[in-house]
Structure 1
Amino acid sequence: MTTRRPLVGGLVAEGISFVGTRISMIAIPWFVLSTTGSATQTGLVAAAEITPLVVFKALGGPLLDRLGPRRVTLACDLTSSIVVAAIPLLHGLGLLSFPLLLVLVAVAGALRGPGDAGKAAMSPELARVAGWSLERVSGLAAAVERTSSMGGAALAGLLVASLGAANALYVDAASFLVSFAVFAVATAGLGRPVPPEPDAAPTSYGQELRQGWDFLRTEPVLIAICVMVAVTNLVDQAYSAVLAPVWAKESGAGVAVLGTLFAAMSGASVLGALAAARWGETLPRFRTYVVAFLVAGAPRYVVMALESPVWAVFAVTVLAGVASGFLNPILGAVIMERIPAHLLGRVTSLNTAICWSLMPLGGVLAGVAVAGLGLSPALLVAGAVYLVTTMAPTRVPSFRQMERAPVVDARTPSGA
């Protein structure tokens, strides 16, 4: 019997969470810029969040497989609401020093790592229960992410402009609580740990981590995706945490325009994600990947570097958004269809951790580049890195294996 209730509830919960995350993504960098005027310190805050996020994503995989992704996700969401709320509370009391802000942001990142990984690990089960393909579910998830990001970015601009960056974080804290409640109700009975085989020998936590890595390194397509996405995530982090906020400040556009710009890209990417959900099963994955990244990557950096008018920046950003909507559904389906069920938690966690591994450097490098080179040269360098990185896999034969693969037995790693 199929039912779409868990899938719908899971998507709603993710959408609420993304709204809050988008608010903090704009509010925290703007708060640091406004109070310190330092692009370098802004980059340090971004690194303080991303570093533990990546570490705990990598180390939390066996925990997902042992306890089940649902339990881990709910525990992380509930605790995150408390940690995020502490930032504006302490600021209001005059107790929030910069080192303490770094600590709180780091704890929030550490919780977000396994929490996000738990949601991702449940995607195949939600797709199975709903009776839908991974492409369709990944496309809908991407559409929800982009829609909520669009709303969250626009809301963030309004909240930061009217209430202040610190107070806007209360909304982020509330979003974790609401997401917790919706996810708990919608996914009841799902997300349980996969029982070990009857004759399987007991394994340690470290052995389970090694099993995930042993499987991942034998999959050339997954490794190629990991390396490529790791570099593009670094550049994207530099863009969202430092380059775009500094552009908004130096150009005089302001935080409201910055929020609207992020919202415009998210809204446009919804169209691409919905198109991918509808027709993604029929599209050639490799060709779609190449075209989408050519449009979604370097152009938006170049248009800012050339000090183009705001309308031109928005136009290029909208086109990039539409193209980017096709990427997550394709890459998500490629990843999930290659991982056996009993390794899902640890492999997806490692995969995501590698993809995010360079992100802590994004804000720091962007801050240093802006301080040393100036904004326009820093943007041009970022655009060039993006272009080279996304097109490099076209020269790697193994990457063309991203086209649809045969279904892998639930307990047999590919190549066995």
Structure 2
Amino acid sequence: MTTPAKRLPFVLLQVANFAGASANSMTFIAIPWLVLELTGSALSTGIVAALAAIPAIVMSPLAGLLIDRVGRAKISILSDVLSGLSVLMIPFVAMTGRLDLSVVAGAALLGAIFDPTGYTARKTLIEPTAKASGVSLARANSLHEALFALGFALGPALGAALIGVVGTIMSFAVITVFFGVAVIAVWVIPSAATMVPDDRPDQTGAWWRDAIEGFRVIRADTALLVVTAFIVFVDFVYKPTEVVILPTYFQSIDNPWGFGVVISAMALGGVIGAYSFAPLAARFTLRTIVLSCSIASSALLFGLAFFPPVWMMGVFGLAVGMCWGPMGPLLNTLVQTRCRPSVQGRVFGAQMALFASGPPLGMVLVGGLVEGFGVAVVYPFIVAAVFLCALALLGVRQLAGVDRHRAPQ
């Protein structure tokens, strides 16, 4: 029988996971809102969001290498410390009276360097802390992604509430506290619970070759490549809607609470969906889960695309999150069961870089389209593109490989 004390390493990781997710999602609300307050421009919002996404493309592979070489816990702690300092910069500069768009963009850029690193490091801690705590890998992935989604569900609502109560500037000071909680939680995890066998990375002699090893691993595994490529496309096409289109729409009707409700509903659905992965994986093939989640979630997006009343957008957002939710723990499981422990940090880092590569162009493009044609035209077009891509997965033969040669759970 597993005692509460034995489960402490995994519990502490989940405290950090939840706090970090909440901090990042509050920033997700606060940054675009602050840019709109300063400029009133959807295009500027898209540009700042795009600039903030660029560092992850370069830094994530390096972050993966640091995680594999320096250590999972050490990089997690360092990343959250620096993320907290980056958001604290905004209220500090505001007190001097010099806050402008360049400062906000700079803070967003710094956060974009450190946030993905901390997120990736925490992912690599799932397997060792789960084993040390006596938690099965499938259940650990479900719980980790569910709590991450819960942080994103509560974060936007809390961020919107903070904007309304203490103002946009001071909301960043509260975000810093959440990063601090994440730092402390990982700090007190016993070091033995943060390591797995074969933790020493394979070194080819050149650091840059080691850094891109994650890309080579993904390319060599066609099933992992297909799933990763689909998510890259979704991030390129759909992610700008949450960063540009929805903030622009709710800003135009002066309803920050409505924005928080819709984003939180989607994330809350993600909590339910992520938690359901373990029982789903016990009953269905991973290919069935991928296809069902992709097609159902993209079809339900049409319920948001025409901007019905806020309560209805919340209902559809909840359903979208529930259908997409199992994809996070599924992707974790693929990496953990198909890749050596010594390269998992770099594989997660490579995926993060790939996921970050599409949104910068997409955000600028969508921001320009919104200013030219309006949200009512652009949003349905984007949703249709995502739905057609999901349907196309039905004809991808390589996707069947996700259920081959799976390691025991």
Tell me which interval the TM-score lies in, with the shorter structure as reference length: over 0.9
Structure 1: 5+ residue stretches without partners: 409-416
Provide the C-alpha distance between the structure 2 equivalents of 1:170 and 1:390, rounded to a whole number of angstroms.
Answer: 40
- Residue of structure 1 equivalent to 2:89: 86
RMSD of Structure 2 on Structure 1 (CA): 2.2
Q: How does 1:208-219 map to 2 (within 5 A)?
A: 208-219=210-221
1:60 to 1:269, Cα distance in 2 relative to 1, 3 A: closer
Pick which of 320-329 and 26-35 moved more: 320-329
Equivalent-residue separation in structure 2 for 1:201 and 1:366 (angstroms): 41
Q: Is the 8 A contact 2:53 2:112 kept in 1?
A: yes
Q: Is the 8 A contact 1:304 1:376 kept in 2?
A: no
- Distance, in Å, in 2 between the alignment partners of 1:224 and 1:247 is 33
Inter-CA distance 37–210: structure 2 relative to 1 (3 Å threshold): closer
Matches within 5 A, 1:57-68: 57-68=60-71
Cα distance, 1:339 vs. partner? Answer: 0.6
State whether structure 2 residue 44 is matched by structure 1 residue 53: no
TM-score by length of 1: 0.91
Shift of 1:176: 0.8
Q: Does residue 213 of structure 2 align to residue 234 of structure 1?
A: no
Q: Structure 2 length normalisation: TM-score?
A: 0.92
Q: Which residue of 2 aligns with 1:321?
A: 321
Report the Cα offset of residue 195 of structure 1.
5.4
Q: Is 2:61–2:214's contact at 8 Å kept on the other side of the alignment?
A: no
Q: Name the residue aligned to 1:126.
A: 129
Name the residue aligned to 2:159. Answer: 156
User: Residue 7 of structure 1 corresponds to which residue in structure 2?
Assistant: 10
Contact 1:159 1:165 in 2 (8 A): yes
- After superposition, the C-alpha distances for 1:249-293 in whole angstroms (9 at most, x for unaligned) are 23x261011111111222222222222234433322222222222
CA distance in 1, matches of 2:204, 2:335: 27
**Residue type matched to 2:313 in 1?**
V
1:218-297 alignment, distance < 5 Å? 218-250=220-252, 252=253, 254-297=255-298
**Residues 279/388 of structure 1: CA separation in 2 closer, same or farther (3 Å cut):** closer
| TM-aligned CA deviation for residue 43 of structure 1 | 0.7
Q: Provide Cα deviations, 1:318-358, integer angstroms capped at 9, x if missing partner.
A: 21122122221222212321111111121221122112221
| Deviation larger for 275-284 or 71-80 | 275-284
* Bigger Cα displacement from structure 2, 185-194 vs 213-222: 185-194
Q: Distance in 2 between matches of 1:346 and 1:253?
A: 43
State the 1:91 CA deviation.
Answer: 1.9
Distance 1:130 1:269, change over 3 A: same
**2:113 matches 1:110:** yes
- Separation in 2, partners of 1:201, 1:74: 24
**1:101 CA displacement:** 2.0
* One-letter code aligned to 1:172: I
Task: Please say if 1:384 is aligned against 2:384.
Answer: yes
Distance 2:271 2:314 in 1: 16
Structure 1 pair 380/209, CA: closer, same or farther in 2 (3 Å)?
Answer: same
**Residues 304 and 317, structure 2, Cα contact 8 Å, conserved in 1:** no
Give, in whole Å, the separation in 2 of the partners of 1:333 and 1:196: 21
Of all paired residues, the percent bearing the same amino acid is: 24
Q: Which structure 2 segments of 5+ residues have no match?
A: none
Q: Secondary structure at the match of 2:339?
A: coil
Could you tell me how far 1:210 is from its partner in structure 2?
4.1
Once the 2 structures are TM-superposed, how far is the Cα of residue 93 of structure 1 from its aligned partner? 2.0
The count of corresponding residues between Structure 1 and Structure 2 is 404
